[in-house]
C-alpha cells in the first residue's frame, strides 16, 4: 500500500521490516535496541492510551523531551490517531513553554526528565487548556493531572481489548493534507510563530530525501540534533523510519564523539558548528604533535586535496593513488575511524557551512553534503547529492520531492511545491506575507543559482548590512570564515549605516588561556583576559589572516572581545543557536559605540 500519510508510511515499514532493529539507546553502558514490530506495538499502546483519556483527532499534544526512543514512540502515537504534535525545545524556559502551550491550546504534554516536568509544574496554574502531564521518568513530586508513560501504555492495552478495531479504523481516516505538527519557529525577534505542517508536507520531503540520498534499510543513523527541530525530525527520524533503517540516539551532545565510535553510523545529520569544532580539534592535534607530525599532516592534506579534485577516480595517476593510500594510512584513517569507520556521508543543515571546512573533510575522505531549508518548507528546499556536490553551495532543488526554486528580482530565494507549509497557526495575515498568490514561499534568504542549478545562499535578507558609504555586505560568510579559527568561538558582525564593519567576538577561552600561560600573561578572570593587549593582538592577527581575500569594505576594522558566551538563557541565542542580532547589539550598545568613537 502506497503511503499518503506519515502513519501509513510507518505501518508499512513495521510490516516489511518487523524483525529488524528500529531504535537503539544506551542502557547500562551498552547500546541496546528493539525491533520495528515492538516499536509498532509501543506506538499503538501509547496512541490508544491517549484515546482512553478522551484525546481526539485534531487535538494538540506537546512533547518536551531530549532525543530518546520515547520521543519517537510519542511522535508516531500522536500522529497515528490524527492528533497534532507540538514539539518543544528542552532548552526553553518555563515562560517560553507557557506561550507555546497556550497558543497551540495543547491538551496534553509529554515530558522526559524531572527538570522538564518541573518546568510544567511551575506554570501549571497558567495553563487553562492543559489536561494531563505524562512523564517518562518519575518527577521530583507528583501533582494533579499527572500520569506516567507506562501507565498510559497500560491504559492503551486495556482500551484495545475493549475497542479492537479502533486503532486501524482511526488510522484509515487520516488524510494527506491533515495537519500533523505545529512547530514553533525560534525566531530572532518577538514571540515564535507556529508553523502548521501536514502529513503530505513532510512525507513529500521524506520521499525526496530518501530518493536523492539513496537511503536504505542497511543504513544506521546516529541522532543527536534535537528532534523538536524539523531538520532532524525529517532527515534523522522519518527518512530512516520510512525505509527500515536503524536509528541510534546519542547520549548527549557531549558524548557524540564517543557514540560515533560505538554506533558506527553510515549517515548522520549535523550542524556546521559540529564540523567547525572537529576541524579546529584536528588542527590543534596536528600542531601539538611537533614539527614532524605537522609536516606529515600538511603533506597528507595537500595529497587529499589533489586526489579529491579528480572527479573520475579511474583517471587518477598511479603515483597520486600511491600517495593517497599512504596519506590515508598515516593520517586520514585515524580521522575516519573517529567517525566510526562506516560513514557514507554527513548531512549539514541549519546554517551555512564554510567552504574551507567542507573541502578539508572531503580531502580527508569524509563527505559532508550541505543542504538548505526552513521550518516553513518541511524543511528541505535544496541538497547536494552524494555523487554530485559543490562546496560553498547547498545543492540543487530537491526535485524528487517536487520542490521548485526561483530567485526574485531582489535576490530573494522563493520556493514552491508540496513541501510548503499549510499556514502560520492562527495568523492568516502573516501567512499571506510569506506565501504569495501563486504559492511561492518567500524564504527571506538571499541567494543565486549557478549554471547547473546549484543554489548558493549569501545571507538573510534582513541581515544584509548597508554601510554609510552604500556598500552592501553579507555578514554570514565573513562570520563563517572567522569561525574556522580555533581562537574564535562566537562572532557577530556589526556595521549597518556605519562607516565600517566591526565585530563582537567571544574567544575560545581554552585556547587563549593556554596562550596566556605559555606567554606568562597574568589575569584574575575572563574579563581581565579579554582586555589584555597581547590577547587582543593575537585575535587581531587571526582576523587579518582570515581577511586576506576580502574586499577592503568587508574587512573588520575594529572588534571587542567579550568575557562571556552568548547563551539561550540570556536570550542571546535562539534554541537553534542562532545569534539574536538585535538583542546582542542592544545589550552591548555602549561597547559597540566605543568602536566607532575611536
Q: Are residues 249 and 169 in the same domain?
A: no
Q: Label residue 102 by pLDDT band (50, 70, 90).
A: very high
pLDDT exceeds 60 at position 189: no
Q: Determine contact, residues 393/450, Cβ cutoff 8 Å.
A: yes
Beta bridge partners of 501: 556
pLDDT at res. 282? 87
Q: Determine contact, residues 204/401, Cβ cutoff 8 Å.
A: yes
- pLDDT > 70: what percent of the chain? 98
Q: Are residues 429 and 475 in the same domain?
A: no
pLDDT at res. 505? 97
pLDDT at res. 419? 98
pLDDT exceeds 80 at position 27: yes
User: Where is the domain boundary, 460, 492, 518?
Assistant: 460
pLDDT exceeds 80 at position 598: no
Provide the 3-class DSSP secondary structure of residue 390.
coil
Q: Are residues 456 and 468 in the same domain?
A: no
Is 552 a domain residue?
yes
Q: Detail the DSSP E strand segments found in 450-528.
A: 455-460, 465-466, 472-473, 488-494, 501-507
pLDDT at res. 472? 87
Q: Are residues 147 and 212 in the same domain?
A: no
* Closest-CA residue to 523 (of 540, 542, 505, 536): 536
Residue entry with cell 554609510: 468
Whole-prediction pTM:
0.87
Is 181 a domain residue?
no
pLDDT at res. 307? 83
Would you say how long the chain is, in residues?
598
Q: Determine contact, residues 535/516, Cβ cutoff 8 Å.
A: yes
Look up residue 111 and give its three cell numbers. Answer: 515530558
Higher pLDDT, 1 or 106: 106
| Domains held by the chain: number | 3
* Closest-CA residue to 87 (of 109, 54, 55, 107): 109
pLDDT tens per residue across span 157-172: 999 999 999 999 999 9
pLDDT tens per residue across span 434-484: 999 999 999 999 999 999 999 999 888 888 898 988 888 999 999 989 999
Beta bridge partners of 414: 406, 442
Mean pLDDT, rounded, for 555-576:
91
User: Where is the domain boundary, 460, 493, 508?
Assistant: 460
Q: Are residues 238 and 378 in the same domain?
A: yes
Is 69 a domain residue?
yes
Determine if residue 539 is left, alpha or beta; phi over 0 gives left, psi from -120 to 50 gives alpha, anything else beta. Answer: alpha
Q: At CB < 8 A and 24+ separation, what contacts does 404-408 make?
A: 405/381, 405/449, 405/455, 406/440, 407/447, 407/448, 407/449, 408/442
pLDDT tens per residue across span 117-153: 999 999 999 999 999 999 999 998 888 789 999 999 9
Domain of 580 in residue numbering reads as 464-597
Q: Label residue 576 by pLDDT band (50, 70, 90).
A: confident
pLDDT exceeds 90 at position 305: no
pLDDT exceeds 90 at position 494: yes
Q: Are residues 88 and 232 in the same domain?
A: no
Q: Are residues 471 and 426 in the same domain?
A: no
Mean pLDDT, rounded, for 517-524:
94
Identify the CATH number of the domain in which residue 55 sits.
3.40.50.980
pLDDT at res. 316? 75
Is 310 a domain residue?
no
Is 246 a domain residue?
yes
pLDDT exceeds 60 at position 418: yes
Q: Are residues 557 and 450 in the same domain?
A: no
- DSSP-derived pairing of the beta strands 345-348 and 267-270: parallel
Q: Which stretch of DSSP H or E encloses residue 171?
A: helix 166-171
Identify the CATH number of the domain in which residue 539 sits.
3.30.300.30
What letter would DSSP give residue 332? I
User: Where is the domain boundary, 460, 491, 508?
Assistant: 460
CA distance 262 to 340: 7
pLDDT exceeds 80 at position 311: no
Residue 23 sits at the vertex; the CA angle it makes with 17 and 25, to the nearest 5 degrees, is 155
Is 490 a domain residue?
yes
Q: Are residues 468 and 441 in the same domain?
A: no
Q: Are residues 454 and 506 in the same domain?
A: no
Amino acid at each position: 500500500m502506497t503511503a499518503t500519510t506519515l502513519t501509513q508510511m510507518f505501518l508499512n515499514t513495521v510490516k516489511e521490516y518487523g524483525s529488524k532493529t528500529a531504535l537503539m539507546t544506551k542502557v547500562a553502558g551498552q547500546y541496546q535496541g528493539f525491533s520495528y514490530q515492538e516499536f509498532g506495538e509501543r506506538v499503538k499502546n501509547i496512541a490508544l492510551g491517549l484515546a482512553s483519556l478522551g484525546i481526539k483527532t485534531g487535538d494538540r499534544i506537546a512533547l518536551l523531551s531530549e532525543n530518546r526512543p520515547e520521543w519517537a514512540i510519542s511522535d508516531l502515537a500522536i500522529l497515528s490517531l490524527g492528533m497534532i504534535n507540538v514539539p518543544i525545545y528542552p532548552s526553553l524556559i518555563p515562560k517560553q513553554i507557557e506561550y507555546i502551550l497556550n497558543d497551540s491550546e495543547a491538551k496534553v504534554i509529554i515530558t522526559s526528565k524531572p527538570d522538564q516536568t518541573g518546568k510544567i509544574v511551575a506554570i501549571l496554574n497558567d495553563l487553562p487548556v492543559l489536561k494531563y502531564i505524562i512523564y517518562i521518568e518519575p518527577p521530583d513530586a507528583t501533582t494533579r493531572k499527572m500520569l506516567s508513560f507506562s501507565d498510559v501504555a497500560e491504559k492503551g492495552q486495556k482500551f484495545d481489548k475493549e475497542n479492537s478495531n479502533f486503532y486501524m479504523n482511526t488510522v484509515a481516516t487520516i488524510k494527506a493534507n491533515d495537519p500533523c505538527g505545529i512547530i514553533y519557529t525560534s525566531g530572532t525577534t518577538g514571540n515564535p510563530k507556529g508553523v502548521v505542517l501536514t502529513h503530505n508536507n513532510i512525507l513529500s520531503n521524506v520521499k525526496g530525501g530518501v530518493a536523492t540520498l539513496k537511503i536504505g534499510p542497511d543504513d544506521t543513523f546516529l541522532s543527536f540534533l534535537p528532534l523538536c527541530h524539523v531538520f532532524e525530525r525529517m532527515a534523522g527520524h522519518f527518512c530512516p523510519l520510512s525505509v527500515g533503517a536503524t536509528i541510534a540516539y546519542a547520549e548527549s551532545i557531549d558524548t557524540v564523539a564517543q557514540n560515533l565510535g560505538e554506533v558506527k553510523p553510515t549517515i548522520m545529520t549535523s550542524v556546521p558548528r559540529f564540523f567547525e569544532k572537529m576541524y579546529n580539534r584536528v588542527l590543534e592535534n596536528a600542531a601539538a604533535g611537533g614539527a614532524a607530525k605537522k609536516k606529515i599532516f600538511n603533506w597528507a592534506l595537500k595529497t587529499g586535496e589533489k586526489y579529491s579534485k579528480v572527479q573520475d577516480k579511474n583517471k587518477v595517476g598511479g603515483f597520486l593513488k600511491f600517495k593517497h593510500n599512504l596519506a590515508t594510512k598515516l593520517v586520514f584513517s585515524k580521522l575516519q575511524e573517529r567517525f566510526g569507520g562506516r560513514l557514507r556521508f554527513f548531512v549539514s543543515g541549519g546554517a551555512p557551512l564554510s567552504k574551507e571546512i567542507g573541502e578539508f573533510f572531503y580531502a580527508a575522505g569524509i563527505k559532508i553534503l550541505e543542504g538548505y531549508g526552513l521550518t516553513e518548507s518541511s524543511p528541505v528546499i535544496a541538497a547536494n547529492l552524494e555523487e554530485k556536490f559543490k562546496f560553498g553551495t547547498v545543492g540543487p532543488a530537491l526535485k524528487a520531492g517536487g520542490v521548485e526554486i526561483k530567485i526574485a528580482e531582489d535576490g530573494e530565494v522563493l520556493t514552491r511545491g508540496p513541501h510548503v507549509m499549510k499556514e502560520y497557526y492562527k495568523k492568516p495575515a502573516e501567512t499571506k506575507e510569506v506565501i504569495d498568490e501563486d504559492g511561492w514561499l518567500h524564504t527571506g534568504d538571499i541567494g543565486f543559482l549557478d549554471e547547473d542549478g546549484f543554489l548558493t545562499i549569501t545571507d538573510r535578507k534582513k541581515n544584509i548590512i548597508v554601510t554609510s558609504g552604500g556598500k552592501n555586505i553579507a555578514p554570514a560568510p565573513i562570520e563563517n570564515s572567522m569561525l574556522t579559527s580555533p581562537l574564535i568561538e562566537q562572532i557577530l558582525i556589526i556595521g549597518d549605516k556605519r562607516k565600517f564593519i566591526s565585530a563582537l567576538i567571544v574567544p575560545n577561552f581554552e585556547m587563549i588561556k593556554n596562550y596566556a600561560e605559555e606567554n606568562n600573561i597574568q589575569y584574575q578572570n575572563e574579563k581581565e583576559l579579554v582586555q589584555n593587549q597581547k590577547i587582543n593582538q593575537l585575535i587581531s592577527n587571526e582576523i587579518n589572516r582570515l581577511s586576506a581575500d576580502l574586499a577592503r569594505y568587508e574587512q573588520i576594522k575594529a572588534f571587542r572581545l567579550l568575557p562571556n558566551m552568548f547563551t539561550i538563557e540570556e536570550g542571546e541565542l535562539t534554541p537553534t543557536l542562532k545569534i539574536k542580532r538585535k538583542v546582542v547589539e542592544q545589550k552591548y550598545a555602549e561597547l559597540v559605540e566605543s568602536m566607532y568613537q575611536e
